[in-house]
Amino acid sequence: MSFLQDPSFFTMGMWSIGAGAIGAAALALLLANTDVFLPKPQKATLEYLEDIDLKTLEKEPMTFKAKALWENNGAVIMAVRRPGCFLCREEAADLSSLKPKLDELGIPLYAVVKEEVKTEVKDFQPYFKGEIFLDEKKKFYGPERRKMMFMGFVRLGVWYNFFRARSGGFSGNLEGEGFILGGVFVVGPGKQGILLEHREKEFGDKVNLVSVLEAARKIKPQTSASEKK
């Protein structure tokens, strides 16, 4: 048992434990930066989206079916993760930069939020140039809601997104629920269907604006003949 009295034995043991812990941490960090543990999105159907109940954000709110947003001219719709988030404000500003082109195409730009906290929606409006509605049941964030918890803060992509938005002059706060991931939809009128469905995979995962415009240009105007079909 003389090895128990040898200080180098304990030094080697502690070194081995430390190396193992570092290796485990490195592996965890590596896996956290892959898509292995990311929540997999379930594609929405047109019928699912059509039946969603939305509310206006007026003093006396009105409830209506979401299909009213796109049934005549189609629509681009942002499901906002959190209005006070500076990453969401950045994406809202990016989408709003498309509004002149969307107006030329006759396609409206909308957003939905999952809650109305203090003045968060009002403070979000300078970044978003379209109407905003409330989705209390969070249906636009489904059919299966996906969350990113604290794993998001060890993802290099998220930190890059933080830096990009901060460098762009965007700021925000921590008000409201921000773990349920959002997305962007381009939906055609009538039964043309969902032309683009972008699901945020991590904080700050923005939709490709070129893809949004390409999808918007595929929208076919609704005619009285097609309405009867």
94-130: burial string, b at 16+ Cβ within 10 Å, e else:
bbbebbeebeebebbbbbbbbebeeebbeebbebbbb
| Whether 83 and 168 share a structural domain | yes
pLDDT at position 11 is 54
Query: Does 129 fall in a domain?
Result: yes
Count other Cβ atoms within 10 Å, centred on residue 72: 14
Q: Do 22 and 92 fall within a single domain?
A: no
Query: ∠ at Cα 195 (157, 68), nearest 5°?
Result: 110
Residues 139 and 29 in one domain: no
In a domain, 225, yes or no: no
Evaluate whether residue 17 is within a structural domain. Answer: yes
Residue 166 three-state SS: helix
pLDDT value of position 31: 43
Segments forming the whole domain that contains residue 22: 8-36
Per-residue pLDDT of the chain (229 residues; tens, 9 = 90+): 554 455 554 455 554 555 455 544 444 444 445 565 566 778 999 999 999 999 999 889 999 999 999 999 999 999 999 999 999 999 999 999 999 999 999 999 999 999 999 999 999 999 999 999 999 999 999 898 888 877 767 788 899 999 999 999 999 999 999 999 999 999 999 999 999 999 999 999 999 999 999 999 999 877 654 554 4
Statement to judge: residues 61 and 149 lie in one domain:
yes
Q: Does any domain span residue 70?
A: yes
For residue 147, list its beta bridge partners: 180
Q: What is the CATH number of the domain that holds 102?
A: 3.40.30.10
Instruction: Please tell me whether residues 25 and 99 are part of one structural domain.
Output: no
Domain count, the chain: 2
Residues belonging to the active site = 85, 88
167 shares a domain with 83: yes
CB 78 within 8 A of CB 112: yes
Same domain? 14 vs 103: no
Clarify whether residues 27 and 123 are in a common domain: no
Residue 16 lies in a domain: yes
Q: Are residues 61 and 110 in the same domain?
A: yes
Answer yes or no: do 29 and 132 share one domain.
Answer: no
The answer as to whether 64 is a domain residue is yes
My answer on whether 29 and 51 are in the same domain is no
Rounded Cα distance, 207 and 78, in Å: 10
* Confidence at residue 168, expressed as pLDDT on a 0 to 100 scale: 96
Q: Are 114 and 85 in contact (CB under 8 A)?
A: no
Residues 22 and 131 in one domain: no
User: Is 223 part of any domain?
Assistant: no
Domain-embedded: residue 117: yes
